[in-house]
């Protein structure tokens, strides 16, 4: 995956892409568990996932983790902090080995050719809107009071996104529990009950939803 493949750079001329590669972007490889952007840091850079997967995590003082989102190949992260110049409230952590382009947003917007800067600004606004929707989705998923309700909401949304009853989620069981803000043991127990009730089936992180009616 190259820079031209990212939606953030849609519509940019070859001249602008070449300028970015020469002046504002560099590629780094990370191992699983590596922190790309740290909570508390002020960053000028946003990340573009060339390969692998990055989780956006909130870790409190006592070590409790909440996963706020997952960014897979082709996605971006850190744009709000790179634009706002405020300390990060989250960590961006590699969930698996991969390569990430780091873009110095301030340099790009101020110094690249004017037409490219205008197009990049438009794309950044679109990206921020999409991220707001993703955060709203997590709020919807954690709103139900029961674990089953949270699972139904999350898995239904994933099915709609995939356009199929069988789909892959970007989380293992612990990560899914952290995303839904529930205990892992309780989550696994509820998944077992839902399978027994004929609502779904799974193999690792591939789920299949079954016909039937259920209330959260």
pLDDT at 146: 96
Alpha carbon of 68 to those of 63, 94, 112, 132: distances in Å? 15, 14, 32, 12
CATH architecture under which domain 143-209 falls: Orthogonal Bundle (1.10)
What pTM was estimated for this model as a whole? 0.82
Distance between CA atoms of residues 151 and 142, nearest Å: 9
pLDDT at 127: 93
Say what percent of the chain tops pLDDT 70: 98
Token readout for 68 is: 């706020």
Q: For residue 53, give the 3-state DSSP assignment.
A: strand
**Angle subtended by helix axes 114-142 and 173-180, to nearest 10:** 90
Token readout for 178 is: 């952290």
pLDDT tens for the chain, 216 residues: list them.
889 999 999 999 999 999 999 999 999 999 999 999 999 999 999 999 999 999 999 988 778 889 999 999 999 999 999 998 899 999 999 999 999 999 999 999 999 888 899 999 999 999 999 888 888 889 999 999 999 999 999 999 999 999 999 999 999 999 999 999 999 999 999 999 999 999 999 999 999 999 765 555
Interior/surface letters 13-45, b for 16+ CB within 10 angstroms, e for the rest: eeebbebbeeebbeeeebeeebebbeeeeebbb
Contact of 127 with 46, CB cutoff 8 Å = no
Token readout for 139 is: 């709020």
pLDDT tens profile 82-101? 998 899 999 999 999 999 99
Every domain range in the chain assigned CATH 1.10.10.10? 143-209
Contact of 167 with 206, CB cutoff 8 Å = yes
**Cα-based torsion angle of the residue sequence 71, 75, 81, 83 in order, rounded to the nearest 10 degrees:** -170
pLDDT at 215: 55
Domain topology for 3-137: Jelly Rolls (2.60.120)
pLDDT at 8: 94
The DSSP-derived string for 3-40 is: GGGSGGGTT--HHHHHHHHHHTEEEEEE-TT-EEE-TT
The DSSP-derived string for 170-206 is: S--HHHHHHHHTS-HHHHHHHHHHHHHTTSEEEETTE
Token readout for 165 is: 């009853």
Q: For residue 169, give the 3-state DSSP assignment.
A: coil
pLDDT at 214: 58
Every domain range in the chain assigned CATH 2.60.120.10? 3-137
- Count helices and strands (H / E) in the chain: 7, 11
Token readout for 43 is: 């960053």
């Amino acid at each position: 995956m190259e820079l031209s493949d990212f939606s953030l750079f849609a519509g940019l001329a070859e001249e602008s892409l070449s300028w970015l590669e020469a002046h504002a972007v560099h590629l780094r490889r990370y191992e699983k568990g590596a922190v790309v952007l740290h909570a508390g840091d002020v960053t000028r850079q946003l990340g573009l996932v060339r390969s692998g997967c990055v989780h956006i995590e909130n870790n409190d003082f006592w070590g409790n983790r909440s996963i706020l989102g997952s960014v897979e190949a082709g996605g971006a992260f850190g744009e709000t902090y790179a634009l706002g110049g405020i300390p990060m409230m989250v960590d961006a952590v590699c969930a698996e080995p991969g390569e990430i382009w780091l873009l110095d947003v301030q340099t790009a917007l101020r110094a690249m050719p004017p037409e490219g800067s205008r197009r990049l600004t438009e794309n950044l606004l679109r990206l921020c809107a999409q991220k707001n929707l993703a955060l709203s989705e997590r709020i919807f998923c954690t709103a139900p009071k029961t674990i089953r309700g949270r699972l139904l909401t999350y898995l239904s949304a994933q099915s709609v996104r995939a356009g199929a009853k069988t789909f892959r989620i970007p989380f293992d069981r612990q990560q899914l529990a952290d995303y839904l803000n529930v205990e892992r043991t309780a989550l696994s127990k509820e998944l077992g009950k839902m399978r027994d009730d004929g609502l779904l089936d799974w193999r690792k992180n591939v789920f299949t939803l079954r016909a039937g009616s259920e209330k959260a």
